[in-house]
C-alpha cells in the first residue's frame, strides 16, 4: 500500500512538471509582435502617414464647392400718397431660391504641390522605418529578457548543486561530531552555509518570477502569469565578423535610415517654403442660380416670378509683393532645419560606429571568456569532489571543502554570465544590423 502511494505521488509530480508549458523564444517574439504596446503605437503612426499619402494626389485636383438656400418672406406695407390715395400691400408672400457651384483649380503654385506630395511620400516611408525600428528594438528586448530568465534558471541549478554538496558536508560533519572525530564548530558552520544557500535558492526563485513578469510586460500578457518554463540553454553565434558587420550596419541600420529620411523631409519642406515666393495661378469658374416666386406684385413693375442663371469663368493670379518678410523667415527656418537634421544624421553615424566598435569588443571578450570558463568549470568541479572525498576520509578540514565549493560556484557564475553577456553582445550587433527582423 505504501509503495502504491509513493508511485502515484511521483506520477503526479511528473505530470505537474509536464503540465508547465515551455515558452520558446519564437513564441515570445510572436506574442510581442502581436501585442506589444510600443509596436502598436508605432504601427498606428505609420498608418496615419500612409493614410495621408493615399490622398496626396488630390492636391492636384480642383476644389469644388456648392451652396444652396431658400428664403421665405412676407411683406406688410401701407402707403398714403399726397393726392390722398392709399395702398395696402399686406399679405404679399414670396419664396427665394438660390444656388451656387464654384470651382477653383490651382494651375501653378511654385511647384509647391509636387513638393507636398513628395513630402507625404517621405513621411509614409518614415512611418514604415520607425515601425520597423520599434519592432527591431522590441525583439532585441524580448531576446535579452528571455535569455535573462534562462541564465537565472541556470543560476538556480547552480545553487541546487551547491546545496547538495553543502547537505553532504552537513551529514559528514554531523557523523564526525557524533563519533568524536570532528569539532562541533564544523557542524555548525556547515549548517550555516547550507541555510544560507537555501535562502539564496528561494531568493533566486523570486528573481526568476520577477524576470518573467518583465518579459510578460513586453509581450503584453498578464504579468502575474509566470507558471511557464523557458528553454535550458543559451545558443550563441561565434562566427560574427567585424568587417562584414560594419559595412552592413552602416548601410542598413534603422536609426541611420530614419535620420536620412528626416534630412530628405526637411529638404522637401524647404522646397515648400520657397514656393511661396512665386505667384499662384488659378482657374475659377462658378454657376449662380436664383428664383423668386411671389403671390402678388408690390407694383406694376415688380415681377411675380423671376429666375436667373449665370455662368462665369476666368483666371486669377495671386502675386506676393510684401507680407512682412514672412516667407523669407519661413525659408530661413527651413534651411536651419535642414542643417539640424544633417547634424543629427552625422551624430547618429558616429554613435552607431562607436556602438559597433564597443559592442564587438565586448563580443570578442565574452566569447573568449566562455571558452576559458568552460575549461575552468571542469577543473573546479573535480576540485570540489576531491576536497569532499578528502573531508570524508578525514584528511582535510571543512574549510578546504568550503573553499573548493565556493570556487566551483564562482566558476559556474562566471560561465553563465559569460554566455549571457556574449548573447547580449550578439543581439546588439544584430539589432544594429537590422537582422533581428526580416
Give 381-391 pLDDT, tens digit per residue.
888 888 888 88
- pLDDT at position 393: 84
Q: Which residues pair with 104 in a beta bridge?
A: 63, 284
Inter-CA distances, 126 with 32, 338, 432, Å: 22, 16, 18
- pLDDT at position 119: 94
> Quick check: 349 and 256 in contact, CB under 8 A?
yes
Q: How far apart are alpha carbons 32 and 40 in whole angstroms?
A: 10
Burial class (CB in 10 A: 0-12, 13-18, 19+), 185: exposed
Mean pLDDT rounded to a whole number for the chain:
87
Domain boundaries, the chain: 20-61+109-278+323-433, 62-107+279-319
| pLDDT > 70: percent of the chain | 92
pLDDT band at 136 (very low <50, low <70, confident <90, very high): very high
Q: Nearest Cα to 284, choosing from 107, 113, 66?
A: 107
Give the list of residues 6+ apart from residue 434 with CB closer than 8 angstroms, or none: 132, 136, 249, 252, 253, 254
pLDDT band at 73 (very low <50, low <70, confident <90, very high): confident
Which set of grid coordinates corresponds to residue 257? Answer: 535610415
CATH topology of domain 20-61+109-278+323-433: Outer membrane efflux proteins (OEP) (1.20.1600)
Q: Which residues pair with 97 in a beta bridge?
A: 70, 291
Residues 66-80, mean pLDDT to the nearest whole number: 82
- pLDDT at position 335: 96
Q: Using CA of residue 423, residue 429, residue 432, residue 435, what is the dihedral sign?
A: negative
> Quick check: 367 and 422 in contact, CB under 8 A?
yes
Give the list of residues 6+ apart from residue 365 with CB closer than 8 angstroms, or none: none
Amino acid at each position: 500500500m505504501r509503495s502504491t502511494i509513493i508511485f502515484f505521488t511521483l506520477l503526479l509530480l511528473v505530470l505537474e512538471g509536464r503540465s508547465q508549458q515551455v515558452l520558446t523564444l519564437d513564441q515570445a517574439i510572436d506574442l510581442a509582435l502581436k501585442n506589444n504596446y510600443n509596436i502598436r503605437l508605432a504601427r498606428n503612426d505609420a498608418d496615419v502617414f500612409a493614410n495621408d499619402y493615399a490622398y496626396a494626389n488630390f492636391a492636384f485636383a480642383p476644389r469644388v464647392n456648392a451652396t444652396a438656400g431658400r428664403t421665405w418672406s412676407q411683406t406688410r406695407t401701407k402707403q398714403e400718397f399726397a393726392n390722398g390715395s392709399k395702398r395696402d400691400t399686406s399679405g404679399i408672400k414670396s419664396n427665394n431660391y438660390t444656388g451656387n457651384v464654384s470651382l477653383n483649380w490651382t494651375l501653378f503654385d511654385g511647384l509647391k504641390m509636387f513638393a507636398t506630395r513628395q513630402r507625404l511620400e517621405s513621411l509614409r516611408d518614415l512611418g514604415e522605418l520607425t515601425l520597423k525600428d520599434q519592432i527591431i528594438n522590441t525583439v532585441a528586448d524580448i531576446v535579452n529578457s528571455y535569455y535573462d530568465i534562462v541564465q537565472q534558471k541556470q543560476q538556480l541549478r547552480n545553487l541546487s548543486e551547491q546545496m547538495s554538496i553543502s547537505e553532504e558536508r552537513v551529514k559528514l560533519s554531523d557523523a564526525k561530531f557524533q563519533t568524536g572525530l570532528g569539532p562541533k564548530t564544523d557542524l555548525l558552520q556547515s549548517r550555516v552555509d547550507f541555510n544560507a544557500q537555501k535562502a539564496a535558492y528561494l531568493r533566486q526563485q523570486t528573481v526568476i518570477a520577477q524576470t518573467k513578469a518583465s518579459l510578460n510586460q513586453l509581450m503584453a500578457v498578464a504579468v502575474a502569469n509566470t507558471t511557464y518554463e523557458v528553454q535550458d540553454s543559451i545558443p550563441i553565434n561565434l562566427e560574427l565578423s567585424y568587417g562584414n558587420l560594419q559595412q552592413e550596419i552602416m548601410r542598413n541600420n534603422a536609426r541611420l535610415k530614419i535620420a536620412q529620411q528626416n534630412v530628405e523631409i526637411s529638404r522637401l519642406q524647404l522646397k515648400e517654403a520657397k514656393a511661396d515666393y512665386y505667384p499662384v495661378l488659378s482657374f475659377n469658374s462658378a454657376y449662380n442660380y436664383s428664383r423668386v416666386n411671389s403671390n402678388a406684385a408690390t407694383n406694376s413693375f415688380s415681377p411675380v416670378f423671376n429666375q436667373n442663371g449665370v455662368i462665369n469663368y476666368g483666371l486669377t493670379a495671386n502675386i506676393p509683393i510684401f507680407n512682412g518678410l514672412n516667407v523669407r523667415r519661413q525659408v530661413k527656418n527651413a534651411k536651419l532645419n535642414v542643417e539640424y537634421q544633417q547634424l543629427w544624421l552625422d551624430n547618429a553615424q558616429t554613435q552607431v560606429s562607436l556602438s559597433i566598435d564597443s559592442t564587438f569588443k565586448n563580443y570578442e571578450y565574452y566569447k573568449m571568456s566562455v571558452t576559458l570558463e568552460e575549461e575552468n568549470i571542469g577543473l573546479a568541479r573535480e576540485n570540489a569532489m576531491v576536497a569532499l572525498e578528502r573531508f570524508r576520509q578525514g584528511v582535510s578540514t571543512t574549510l578546504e571543502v568550503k573553499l573548493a565549493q565556493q570556487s566551483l560556484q564562482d566558476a559556474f557564475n562566471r560561465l553563465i554570465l559569460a554566455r549571457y553577456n556574449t548573447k547580449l553582445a550578439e543581439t546588439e550587433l544584430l539589432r544594429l544590423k537590422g537582422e533581428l527582423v526580416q
